[in-house]
Amino acid sequence: MEIDATRAANGKSRSLTIVIPALNEEQGIETTIRAIPRHDLETMGYAVQILVADNGSTDRTADLARQAGADVVFEPERGYGSALKAGITAATGSIIITADADATYPLESIPLLLNTLENEHLDFITTNRFADLAQGAMSRQNMIGNTILTLAARLLFGLNIRDVESGMWVFRKDILKKLRLHSDSWPLSHEIKIEACYYAKCRWKEVPVHYRARTGQTKLLNGWKVGFIDLLHIAKKRLVR
Ligand SMILES: Nc1nc2c(ncn2[C@@H]2O[C@H](COP(=O)(O)OP(=O)(O)OP(=O)(O)O)[C@@H](O)[C@H]2O)c(=O)[nH]1
Ligand SMILES: [Mg+2]
């Protein structure tokens, strides 16, 4: 239904939406959106929608996003998970790609990731930032926290994964009906992987990517506290889905 509607509107047979959660990211939002190789993706036959999910920016994030060619969806409930879920729900594409609004994830690699999804008949791709970390891209604290959380997910769920908190995913929208995504905050990042790869048994792969140092201020405050909540959430997810 969605694909047919897109074909009628754009003459394209495939459709994708890039969902970008953003909270006061006026310094990075334009660079992030402009890094999307929209023309190349359209040449590949995709109708492209860029959707910024904003739920509380008090700066020019939304205006700059629209100027750069994105649609903006607003969600009253604050939080990383809440914003992402609102964006994913509003997405018209049959394939969804997520990335932060801070110019860290390699949006120029989207064609490569899509080819991997299509050629290897996958449902879900997650990315491994540790494979190619630029200098200063991840603080020592985040590196330690991410390593502990990844080890917990590997141990508890037997997932062969190296970066359980990566925020860049590529997946078919139709897998959403099989996923139980409860978190409205940071845990959504590992919850979607545990749901897709462990509970829903999707065909998945983790792909190495380049990860750059952030533009603008981090929104991940109280890192150790967030990490502890994440760890509890992973453990709880093993007991109750
Ligand atoms: N809409 C919305 N976006 C959020 C919220 N919290 C975080 N974000 C966005 O989610 C993405 C991830 O947040 P970041 O601050 O980049 O967190 P991180 O990637 O773990 O850490 P650094 O990039 O190292 O700072 C960014 O694009 C944020 O703007 C929120 O409450 N609402
Ligand atoms: Mg970030």
Ligand 1 centre to CA of 21 (Å) is 7
Sequence-distant (6+) residues with CB within 8 A of 5 are 92
Q: Is the CB of 181 under 6 A from ligand 1?
A: no
Apex 42 CA angle, 36 and 48, nearest 5: 60
What pLDDT does residue 12 have?
A: 81
User: How many percent of the chain have pLDDT more than 90?
Assistant: 94
Would you say residue 48 has pLDDT above 80? yes
Q: Report the alpha-carbon distance of residue 66 to residue 72 in Å, rounded.
A: 7
What pLDDT does residue 3 have?
A: 38
What pLDDT does residue 10 have?
A: 60
Mean pLDDT of 122-133: 98
Ligand 2 centre to CA of 216 (Å) is 9
Q: What is the pTM of this model?
A: 0.95
Instruction: State pLDDT tens for residues 143-202.
Output: 999 999 999 999 999 999 999 999 999 999 999 999 999 999 999 999 999 999 999 999
Nearest residue (CA) to ligand 1, atom 28: 22
Q: In CATH, which of 3.40.50.300, 3.40.50.1360, 1.10.10.1100, 3.90.550.10 is domain 2-138+165-188+201-217?
A: 3.90.550.10
